[in-house]
Structure 1
Amino acid sequence: MAKRADASAGTPATAALARAGIAFSTHAYEHDPRAAAYGLEAAEKLGLDPARVFKTLLASVDGELAVAIVPVALQLDLKALAHALGAKRAEMADPALAARKTGYVVGGISPIGQKTALPTVLDESAILHETIYVSGGRRGLDLGIAPDDLLAVTGGRYAAIARSRASSG
């Protein structure tokens, strides 16, 4: 059963999940504006394993925006994302463009309920977990959701798109 989000937690993401009848849980925390990494901050403040907390990134893939969802402790492998989408090239999207196209602020971009539906790829490591946590649509709010449900509501797919921070380049 979907947990009813209270009015203060209402975002386009929670509204989209409620409309779709998808079960989710809300997890609010006090966001520190000085935090260097929003996703790692969420994992720490919510007491969650960083492997279960995923960040939402926007990339320009052959000139078109796409959503990549990877664990907060890892990095997006842009070549792998391009390959997953049958493209030649991917680069990180301009943060201002990402905010404008999704309707969310950077650091609070949810993969759910975006203004424009975009191709979405979830790192395959998500299948190891019954529940993963993604941004709820504002800084200081994460949503717990089953990975398959996340893909159902976003029209996304699984692919190996994350890499460790140590293996750059």
Structure 2
Amino acid sequence: MHVAETLVRNLRRAHCQFDLVEHEHSATSLESARKAGISPARMAKSVILDDRRGHYLMAVLPANRQLDLDKVHKGASRWQLSGEQSLATLFKDCERGAVPALGELYGLEMLIDPQLARQQDIYLEAGDHESLVHMKVEEFFKLAPNAEVRELCQ
């Protein structure tokens, strides 16, 4: 198990209560939820976007939903899905494809779908493909105090 050091350090610094949930290797957040035996509606999936000018944004939504880019666009910014190389640079302590849904810890602005914000507790990737962080939603928002809650799904 390789939990991202940035995540661990910030969980401790904020005195967050959380559990680590181990599961069989998975390639996607939806598959992680299935293998861990949890509802995909409680699994936070992160989607990294960029504006082609070096600015990044993390959209966080339930693993069983799809991002609607039209709902993300705000002001003059036009967001697109970021490439794999950008993700490796932004999330150096994470395995590729296992980014924790806490972009503020990595200097990214965050948008969170209200379906996740209404859950009592949520799960998110821990930086590898075999473990999840489980916490109350209130604990999650301690680590994302500036996140904007907004409809993001189709």
Relative to the length of structure 1, the TM-score reads 0.78
Separation (CA, whole Å) in 2 of partners of 1:78 and 1:113? 18
Q: Deviations over 1:90-137 (max 9, x none)?
A: 110011101211222322111337773110111110122110111111
Greater displacement, 50-59 / 61-70: 61-70
Inter-partner Cα distance in structure 2 for 1:15 and 1:82: 32
Letter in 2 for 1:67: M
What are structure 2's unaligned runs of at least 5 residues?
none
Give the Cα separation in 2 of the matches to 1:115 and 1:129.
Answer: 21
Identity across aligned pairs (percent)?
22
Instruction: Give aligned pairs, total.
Output: 150
Q: Which has the higher contact order (CA 8 A, sep 6+)?
A: 2
Tell me if 1:98 matches 2:98: no
Name the SS of the counterpart of 1:57 in structure 2: strand
Contact 2:110 2:148 in 1 (8 A): yes
Paired residue secondary structure (2:141):
helix
Taking structure 1 as reference, are residues 9 and 62 closer, same or farther at Cα in structure 2, changes over 3 Å only? closer
1:162 positional shift = 1.7
In structure 2, how many angstroms separate the alpha carbons of the residues matched to 1:126 and 1:108?
A: 18
Q: For 1:162 and 1:87, how far apart are their aligned partners in 2?
A: 20
Shift in Å, 1:78? 1.4
Contact 1:59 1:67 in 2 (8 A): yes
1:76 offset after TM fit, Å? Answer: 1.2
Task: Check conservation: 1:110, 1:137, Cα contact below 8 A.
Answer: yes
- The whole-number CA distance in structure 2 between the counterparts of 1:10 and 1:90 is 29
- After TM superposition, the score normalised by the length of structure 2 is 0.85
Q: Which residue of 2 aligns with 1:11?
A: 4
Distance 1:101 1:131 in 2: 26
Q: 1:91 to 1:113 in 2, by over 3 A?
A: closer
Aligned partner of 1:67 in structure 2 is 58
Q: Which residue of 1 aligns with 2:42?
A: 52
Runs of 4+ in 1 over 3 A off after TM superposition: 112-116
Structure 1 stretch displaced more, 125-134 or 105-114: 105-114
